[in-house]
Structure 1
Amino acid sequence: MSEEAGLRRELVRMGRLLATRQLAHGTAGNLSARLGDGSILVTPTNSSLGNLDPDRISKVSRTGELISGDKPSKEYFFHLAVFDERPGARAVVHLHSAYSVAVSCLRHEQTDDVLPPLTAYYVMRVGKLPLVRYFPPGDRGLAEEVRRVSREHRSMLLANHGSIVSGASLSDAVSASEELEETAKISFILGGRPTSPLGAEQIAGLTRAFPA
């Protein structure tokens, strides 16, 4: 099986997994994976992540031209921005999962890191979580904001929108997205009660042991 055929099948499998776990609903969210030649496979516009057809997944060049498949997601441009800035990233997951979106709708005094480091796995898989200011759907200005944030972060929240997470593989990016959603859920369950997040020394130790 070719690299491309394998990644197409993996996108279908991961899309179905996310839908089954109720992290993707309707036609919200999109996935992408980078091929060895730099081209990108990305889920098509108005497609359900739980019902993808591997042959219809869009293939676009690194500069955004459609090579084959259906018309790509209208948000494919910020996937390209992430790949441009993160050479080690091979996949990007964008979800509208409920708790992450809820966090993105809150008013935050500081937007450089909007979820506390409650668990080691969150620190290892997500890291800091900056909030990107609001852009309407399809606004190309979002790409430049995502590009800027991606230079230092593998995960981010889009205000009033959802999450973007990149990873060294599609499974890595999906796992990190799930960890982000669970931490957002835990944060709401705690409901403002006093917490004991990990400290700077603990975070630094995890970062050294498990670099991004």
Structure 2
Amino acid sequence: MNEASLRRSLVEIFRLAYMRRLVDLLGGNVSARLGGDEILITPTSTPKVLIKPQSIVKIRLDGTVISGGKPSSEWRMHAGIYRVRSDVKFVLHTHPPNILALTQAGLKVDLSLSEAISYIGEVAEVPYLKPGSAELAEAVSRA
């Protein structure tokens, strides 16, 4: 898939995530691996409904902006995942309200349904860490 197609795909993925209430107007982000040390990622502080293919930011895994505006504050987390998982091509970071409510209540998400285990596999947990921080990126990358 070329860069223009990836940009359109990221916009469509985000539109669907928003419609399904997996992200709110400003929360969540999505990225795609381009090759080498380059990724495409959604911009920071942009309402999801306003993101267009040309809004997507192109960065290196070290955070250097190649083209576009300011990347998502979670760029470190995305970059960390791509560094440790060469098989990962896309990362979608969602904020589903039902999962947020469970975690805020201190409850564990139960994936004991065989269908969930078959499709998702093990779900790793990380403790609450400051959004956008290097500590969060490291914890997610290790998980």
Normalised by the size of structure 2, how large is the TM-score? Answer: 0.91
> 2:137 aligned to 134, 139, 143, which one?
143
Matches within 5 A, 1:140-179: 140-149=134-143
Instruction: Give 1:100 shift.
Output: 1.5
Query: Residue in 2 aligned with 1:68?
Result: 67
Unmatched 5+ stretches in structure 1:
109-113, 150-212
Query: Residue in 2 aligned with 1:128?
Result: 122
Answer yes or no: is 1:32 the counterpart of 2:26. Answer: no
Query: Residue in 1 aligned with 2:112?
Result: 118
Cα distance in 2 for partners of 1:136, 1:122 equals 29
Instruction: Give 1:71 shift.
Output: 0.4
Cα distance in 1 for partners of 2:130, 2:4 equals 34
Query: Residue in 1 aligned with 2:13?
Result: 14
Query: Residue in 2 aligned with 1:171?
Result: none
8 Å contact kept, 1:18–1:50:
no
What letter corresponds to residue 29 of structure 2 in structure 1?
N
Cα distance in 2 for partners of 1:96, 1:136 equals 15
Runs of 4+, deviation exceeding 4 Å: none
Per-residue displacement from partner, 1:117-141 (whole Å, max 9, x unpaired)?
3333311232122221111222221
What secondary structure sits across from 2:93 in the alignment? strand
Query: Residue in 2 aligned with 1:102?
Result: 101
Matches within 5 A, 1:45-56: 45-56=44-55
Per-residue displacement from partner, 1:90-112 (whole Å, max 9, x unpaired)?
0111111101212222325xxxx
Query: Residue in 2 aligned with 1:152?
Result: none
What secondary structure sits across from 1:19 in the alignment? helix
Answer yes or no: is 1:93 the counterpart of 2:87. Answer: no
8 Å contact kept, 1:31–1:93:
yes
Cα distance in 1 for partners of 2:18, 2:49 equals 5
Percent of pairs with identical residues: 35
Q: Once structures 1 and 2 are overlaid, which stretch shifts more, 131-140 or 99-108?
A: 99-108
8 Å contact kept, 1:33–1:40:
yes
What letter corresponds to residue 132 of structure 1 in structure 2?
V
The alignment yields a C-alpha RMSD, in angstroms, of: 1.6
Question: Bigger radius of gyration, 1 or 2?
Answer: 1
What secondary structure sits across from 1:41 in the alignment? strand
What letter corresponds to residue 119 of structure 2 in structure 1?
R
Cα distance in 2 for partners of 1:49, 1:28 equals 8
8 Å contact kept, 1:58–1:68:
yes
Q: Give the aligned length.
A: 143
What letter corresponds to residue 142 of structure 2 in structure 1?
R
Q: Relative to 1, partners in 2 of residues 1:148 and 1:6: Cα closer, same or farther, differing over 3 Å?
A: same
8 Å contact kept, 2:99–2:109:
no
